[in-house]
């Protein structure tokens, strides 16, 4: 999964961007594995907005590709 709208979000209201490492960190956190796959896109947008300190400045388009029923 990849989307530029998410990775361009800011971290804690500063100049640092969420970027790819931040996005993959969210996905890799074992505590977040409980999020159902169907809910993952909306959950990611919500987390990115939370980290950003509000709505994202850019639009978000996402493509989720899975293999079988897992992640």
Q: What is the domain count for the chain? A: 1
How far is residue 50's CA from residue 55's CA, in Å, rounded to a whole number? 8
pTM of the model: 0.83
Summarize pLDDT for 24-56 with one digit per residue, the tens. Answer: 898 888 988 889 988 998 999 999 999 999 999
Name every residue whose Cβ is closer than 8 Å to that of residue 69 and which is 6 or more positions away in sequence: 37
Domain range for 49 is 1-71
């Amino acid at each position: 999964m990849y989307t530029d709208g998410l990775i361009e979000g800011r971290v804690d209201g500063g100049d640092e961007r969420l970027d790819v490492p931040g996005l993959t960190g969210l996905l890799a956190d074992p505590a977040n594995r409980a999020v159902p796959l169907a809910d993952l896109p909306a959950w990611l947008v919500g987390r990115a907005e939370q980290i950003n300190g509000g709505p994202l400045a850019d639009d978000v388009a996402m493509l989720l590709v899975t293999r079988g029923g897992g992640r």
